[in-house]
Structure 1
Amino acid sequence: MPNPTAEITLTTSRHLGLVAITHGEKYQQANRALEEAGFARLPNGASIAPLTDPQAARRTASALVHHAHAHGATITTSTRPYLGDFGTEIAAQLPGTWSAELEIYSHPLWQEDLWPMLWEAGEMYRALEDHRIPFASVLKNGSGTELLLIERPGHRSGYLLGALTDREQEDPHDDPTTPHSIVLPADPGLAARAVADTFLPAHRRALHHQDLNNVLRALERIREEHETLQVIKESGRYSDGVPLRDSRLIGGMERDFADHAWLSYRAVLEHAPLLLTRCRPAATPWPEDAAALTRLREALAFSQDAWDEWNDLRQELYSIPRTLPAHEWSQVRGQLGLAVLPAIETWLADSEAFERQARAAVPGGPAALSAPTPRLLTARPAPLPAPRSAPAYR
């Protein structure tokens, strides 16, 4: 087992001067060496010393060598400029309003905190698996998009940029929507152009496909249980062929279905509205889908009260030190599921039209570029008519 280390990486900044970042299991010893050498600590954990006075800079460097040796810390001089500056320069040249903040993962275990947030299946994933990444720059646009920028390990120059997410996700290698990191050049202008022209469009497409897959998987789960329930009701037998002893059992099955359906339908309520705003039936080979999309928008509006009630209840419970028992949660979900059942059946009936229109509306595609984004539906329409029977899912 390797001995615990205390390491100092030195780099330069046009604005800050000499920048030192400590890492290793004994990074605190390296921090003490920097403090004794006269470095000032920044809020992000980096330490700096000015380079404006050459003689003072030489004295600081000499003192650092002495104190680092005394504390058992090794010093490495980076050939790259300070990553905090590079991230800020990229952010300043991206479309919209972006910020960049350096994060330091001094202890090796802190790097593990990146895994739950990393939405990536390319070179950056392998870099985090195989290398120590003691610091990174996180770029944010204020609208939920976060990007991770690191120095490309194993190379003397260049950087890697990947996506972060706060969404629940499966193994990124099993999810075909997972975006891949890209290699950025050392020039911040060229790097920003690569991010804006290549990575961000791919990231938007990945989000679109992930949202669509979440909706389709939810509808598939609902459809399977819905069809099973319909067969039981029509045949008077369980799915294994055993006869129902009492027709009153159907009511309990319907409540159970409503409970489970609500759990899945939440994904539709969360992700489908934005997808629908991108759909342009007139720009596709299926302009007749416009009527189906109108029904789906009306179904979402019909479900809005239940969605608001659910979110209000969750927020209320999170703000007080108690939770509902499992059976009460099930009862709440069942009531909400029954309330939106007409909307759910509308989504089952028109899911094929939705899928082909949403796939045609991927950002950057011909349908997405054909017209401005329509106004979101805000007014609640009249109550939905009785839903048509859902066709078999394909």
Structure 2
Amino acid sequence: MTEAQIILSHGRESGIVAVASGERYRWAHTALAESGFQRDDDGVWHLPADGTQTTVVDLIRCAKRHRTSVNMSSRRFIGDAARDLARLLPGQWHASVEVYSHPAWQEDLVPWIWDSGELGRAVCSERIPYAALLTHAVQGTTLLFIERPGRHLDYLVGAFSPEGLEGGYGDPHAPRGIVLPPFAGPSAQALTSRYLPAYEQAVHARRTAAIAAVLGDIRREHDTWQAMNASGRYSDATPLSAAALGASTELFLDHAWRRFLTVVDHAPALLERCRPASSPWPGDAAALSRLADAVIDVEGLVDEIVHGGFVAEQERRARAWPAIETWLTDGEAFLRQARLSAPHRRPALPVAAPARPLTAARPAHRRP
């Protein structure tokens, strides 16, 4: 790997655009600065629009003095490609550029890439000195958009883990990133018709699985606690004192509370999709109503703890347990309704298109 490298591409508005890469990327920074380039907040270098006469030949000569190689990309600036794509996606999408000059910076992406395909493999094994992020302004969905390694034209796109759901490359619930062509229109169509519906399905499945796992863990601990309480002994038959029983009860309630916060985070979005009246189990409607009320109660408790000041642990346990118990009782009804309400692949929404200029109206006939 080159210790210091400058990668040049052409930006639509700023002309020559440069990115520094390599473990000695600071050498590249020095060469760019001495050649008249200026770095923006994204870490991308541009020539100022004040008539500087710096040429690529000048940059190459300066870079050579600083032991830095210069390479010209055959692609246009990735920021332009990402912004063109974002403008054509339905909804409010924002495009930004990220630079991973040092290889270690790229490694920071690995735990957060929620992908089971080529994009995840590329992030783990290929050098990616820069990328673009596509972020939905309302939903918070964030996509990683990179140049496809080993190809001269294509791009790869995939998702970061949704907030509150630890994922990463290889997660069985992760959607598979897709290959995009170098044209914004077909790329937007592919994202809208293929990837985003698959992403929505994956998020739904991941949330459902997370809640199922949490309820299973709490239920097992609850069964253990109940057996211990009924017998008055530990699992190894050692007698259990009243003080020890009280401590074990508090420990169980504290563990259940921490786990139940996953339900509070992810159940509301799933409950909104449930339609028990049109399911084989219309009687689940009452259970879902109780579950929704329980989540609202705990949301209020969390808000008090975070914003309202001190809440004693004993009070928190007493207020949280009824909600947790409701979910242990009616959780199976929720899980079957959530699985039934999983989003299905739907027809593609029309991608946004730039406004066309109005055709000039025919001039009105004037009388002489």
Normalising by the smaller structure, the TM-score range is 0.7 to 0.9
Does the residue aligned with 1:132 lie in a helix, a strand or coil?
Answer: coil
* Matches of 1:69 and 1:303, distance apart in 2: 62
Q: Which residue in 2 is equivalent to 1:119?
A: 114
Partner of 1:343: 323
Q: Which amino acid aligns with 1:347?
A: W
Taking the aligned partners of 1:170 and 1:365, their CA distance within structure 2 comes to: 22
Partner SS state of residue 291, structure 2: helix
**1:350 maps to amino acid:** D
Alignment partner for residue 194 of structure 1, among 190, 194, 198? Answer: 190
Matched residues in 2 for 1:43 and 1:248: separation?
59
Relative distance call for 1:200 and 1:171 in structure 2 (3 A) is closer
- 1:28-57 Cα shifts (integer Å, max 9, x gaps): 222332333333433322223489x9xx87
2:19 to 18, 21, 42: 21
What is aligned with 2:349? none
Equivalent residues in 2 for 1:32-181 (5 A)? 32-49=30-47, 60-143=55-138, 144-165=140-161, 166-167=163-164, 169=166, 172-173=169-170, 175-181=171-177
> Aligned-pair distance for 1:365?
6.8
CA shift for structure 1 position 100: 0.7
Residue 38 of structure 1 contacts residue 60 of structure 1 at CA under 8 Å; is this kept in 2?
no
Q: Distance in 2 between matches of 1:278 and 1:365?
A: 15
Q: State the Cα RMSD in Å.
A: 2.7
Aligned match of 1:384: none
2:55 is paired with a residue of what secondary structure? helix
Contact 1:215 1:272 in 2 (8 A): yes
- TM-score after normalising by structure 1: 0.79
User: Unaligned 5+ residue runs, structure 2?
Assistant: 347-368
Deviation per CA, 1:16-75: give whole Å up to 9, x if none. Answer: 212121211222222332333333433322223489x9xx87x61221222222222212
**8 Å Cα contact 1:18-1:50 kept in structure 2:** no
Tell me by how many angstroms 1:87 deviates: 0.5
Say if 1:304 and 1:66 are closer, same or farther in 2 by CA, change over 3 A. closer
The code of the aligned residue for 2:268 comes to P
Q: TM-score, normalised by structure 2?
A: 0.85
3-state secondary structure, aligned to 1:80:
strand
Q: Deviations over 1:238-272 (max 9, x none)?
A: 3334444x456443332222112111111111211
Match of 2:279 in 1: 284
Q: Residue 350 of structure 2 aligns with which residue? A: none
Would you say the 8 A contact 1:182–1:199 is kept in 2?
yes
Q: For 1:196 and 1:142, how far apart are their aligned partners in 2?
A: 16
> Structure 2 CA distance, aligned partners of 1:365 and 1:75?
45
- Quote the residue 1:252 is aligned against: 247
Shift of 1:84: 0.5
User: 1:12 & 1:241 partners in 2: Cα distance?
Assistant: 75
Conserved? CA contact 1:39–1:48, under 8 Å? yes
Q: Please, which of 320, 343, 354 is the counterpart of residue 334 of structure 2?
A: 354
Q: Is the 8 A contact 1:269 1:307 kept in 2?
A: no
* Gap change, CA 1:220 and 1:62, over 3 Å in 2: same
For residue 223 of structure 1, what is the aligned residue in structure 2? 219
> What is the deviation of 1:102?
0.9
CA contact (8 A) 2:114 2:167 kept: no
CA distance in 1, matches of 2:35, 2:300: 63
User: SS of 2:74's equivalent?
Assistant: coil
